[in-house]
Structure 1
Amino acid sequence: MGRMETHPVGVAVPLGPLVTRVLAGNASPYTHTGTQTHLVGQSALAVIDPGPDDAAHLEALHRAIAGRPVAAILVTHTHRDHSPLAARLRQATGAPVIGCAPLTMADEGPRADAAFDIDYAPDRVLADGERIAGDGWTIEAVATPGHTSNHLAFALPEANALFSGDHVMGWSTSIVSPPDGDMGDYMASLEKLLGREEAVYYPAHGEVVDNPQRLVRGMLGHRKQREGQIVRLLGRGTHAVEGMVEAMYVGLDARLKPAAARSVLAHLIDLQKRGLAIAGEGGAWHAA
């Protein structure tokens, strides 16, 4: 599904005639090798997901840009490992920040690097299907809420490619963390991508995805399997989220258990909306 690749930090790696990747040095259990910024074009460029507010990554982007004009700085969503460097890159290049809508609610999840960037201030917000064009490239916004409510992917028709942000990654399924993350929206966004024809995905984390339809079908199946596990557990009695994580994620790295708990909670909230689960007192859940 994904190419096995090396991931040198700060090095411009060509992925195709129109696409170059630059990896930020923010590797973690949640970001894998780090956040991947993509440069689109050969002359006037688009920069997708400039990344965390990191001086070394900004320098690496300047090296990769190599004096070429930047036409647009595009942002898939406003987690702090994706959008904060947009402001400094805009100041340095004069390019407008374009893409997802701002989101300022507090993050209740377990990961410090995933808190929302409250300083994100786009010059233009793209709606689903809206396009911008540059020298030899076109970018189309594809609304893909779920991981966050403001998440966009960006299609590149000239390469039959999709920059999938954190919605579809080349190393792991996305964390869906309530209250902003929504499992129903996430599943609907995956179904939406199944109806599209891009042949390659460039995710913000992990390997290039060469067979995206197979991966997306697998992700849908994985989430439906997790939902089935939860429904069976609820059918046997009342459960707390933490106990479900222990039963469902045997052998999981302890550092990732808080993230797993957020996704289980997202499933439970989705089941509650559908009349299949009830939230009880003290964080306990039971079947409807």
Structure 2
Amino acid sequence: MTSIPFVREFDFEYGRCDTLSPLIRRVIAPNPGPFTFTGTGVYIIGHGSVAVIDPGPVDPAHIAAIDTALEGETVSHVFVTHHHLDHSPLAHPLAEKHGARVYGFGPPQIAPAGGEVRLEAGDDVGFQPDVQIEDEEIFPGAGWTLQALHTPGHTSNHVCYALIEENTLFSGDHVMGWSTSVISPPDGHMGDYLFQLARMRDRDFTRLWPTHGPAVESPSPFIQAYIDHRLAREDQILACLADGHETIRDMVAVMYADVDKRLHPAAAHSALAHVIHLIELGKVASDTALDQIDLNATFRLAETV
């Protein structure tokens, strides 16, 4: 497999507000786990009249930490990258406290399959932004400017936010320094994900701030490694099919043999996303209709002419 230069070490304390740059501060929520790493990083943009990105979970200690960090300031915008329970639940309570509105791409297009076995954080099924943003829409603030980039893949409604003044991207779960992102059909789509990775790479940002974990300091080569890793995973799937492994679970057992088995259910969904992408490319076939494919389907290499 292609190696990704993951970054996992960084200095933080729960409840502490850290200044990361002239315009960026961060408070990390105390919700660590296999899919949240050290917890949700909540970003505060600007000073005085500020924006908040991914407020995180509704947790008393976390709410107190956010309130302390924002003391004497007003939130003008609350932005959400997507609808998972580690990102969006505190959005509306925080916005209401400050008389602000919540901005996001809207609810997911399709309910993801797999339920809680798929993601520890799960889906914030009631999430609905006050304002549905458009791709590349610009949001000016008090000394800061954010541009929304609709980046479907991890979820259909995933959005990253570019801070124009610092050529920095808040990448949500689209790209993370500590791990790859789960792509879970039918709402998640691998073809969309790969396309958006290339789009993000080509913007040549100076730095990425994911919602979980430390910054990515050299985004373009890091994202290319992400892409190479995904393409190598598809080569692995083709090899598994050539060796007679017909199901997603059989392929995951081979491909992720050295990975914590708690992560295998999530890996199965990403593998399924890869297989669907390979079917769309004409490299894999199944007797199950494309819109009916799930973890129980069987697959084979497509016949070549």
Task: Say which is worse superposed, 95-104 or 270-279, in terms of deviation.
Answer: 95-104
8 A contact 1:106–1:115 mirrored in 2: no
The aligned amino acid for 2:125 is: I
Note if 1:15 corresponds to 2:20. Answer: yes
1:1-288 alignment to 2 at 5 Å? 2=7, 4-103=9-108, 105-109=110-114, 110-280=117-287, 283-288=297-302
- Deviation, 1:113, is 3.7
Check the 8 A contact 1:104/1:116 in 2, yes or no: no
Determine the structure 1 residue equivalent to 2:291. Answer: none
Partner of 2:299: helix, strand, or coil? strand
Whether the aligned pair in 2 keeps the contact of 1:81 and 1:113 (CA below 8 Å) is no
TM-score by length of 2: 0.90
Alpha carbons 1:26, 1:35 under 8 Å: kept:
yes
Q: What is the Cα deviation at residue 122 of structure 1?
A: 1.3
Q: Which stretches in structure 2 are left out of the alignment for 5+ residues?
A: 289-295
Aligned-pair identity in percent equals: 44
Change (3 A) 1:179 1:30: same
Secondary structure of the corresponding residue to residue 231 of structure 1: helix
Query: Cα distance, 1:54 vs. partner?
Result: 1.7
Q: For residue 47 of structure 1, what is the amino acid of its counterpart?
A: V
Residues of 2 paired with 1:27 and 1:218: CA distance? 26
SS of corresponding position for 2:174: coil
The AA in structure 1 aligned to 2:193 is Y
Residue range with higher mean Cα deviation, 124-133 or 95-104: 95-104
Deviations 1:170-225 (CA, angstroms, capped at 9, x unpaired): 10010001111100011001010111021001100111111011110000000000
Structure 2 counterpart SS, 1:272 = helix
Post-superposition offset of 1:285 = 1.1
Pairwise CA distance, 1:99: 2.1
Q: What is aligned with 2:293?
A: none
Label 1:99 to 1:106 Cα distance change in 2 as closer, same or farther (>3 A). Answer: closer
Q: TM-score with structure 1 length normalisation?
A: 0.96
Name the CA distance, whole Å, in 2 between partners of 1:254 and 1:116. Answer: 22
- Over 3 Å off, 4+ runs: 1-4, 104-107, 111-114
- Using a 3 Å threshold, how does the CA distance of structure 1 residues 238 and 253 change in structure 2: closer, same or farther? closer
Distance in 1, matches of 2:222 and 2:181, equals 13
Asked if structure 2 preserves the Cα contact closer than 8 Å seen for 1:35 and 1:204, the reply is yes
Per-residue Cα deviation, 1:17-73 (whole angstroms, up to 9, x for no partner): 100011011100111101111000011100000111222211111111112011100
State the alpha-carbon separation in 1 of the partners of residues 88 and 120 from structure 2: 12
Provide the rounded CA distance (Å) in 1 between the counterparts of 2:178 and 2:105.
23
- Count matched residues: 288
* CA displacement at 1:254 relative to structure 2: 1.1
Is residue 201–residue 223 contact of structure 2 (8 Å, CA) maintained in 1? Answer: yes
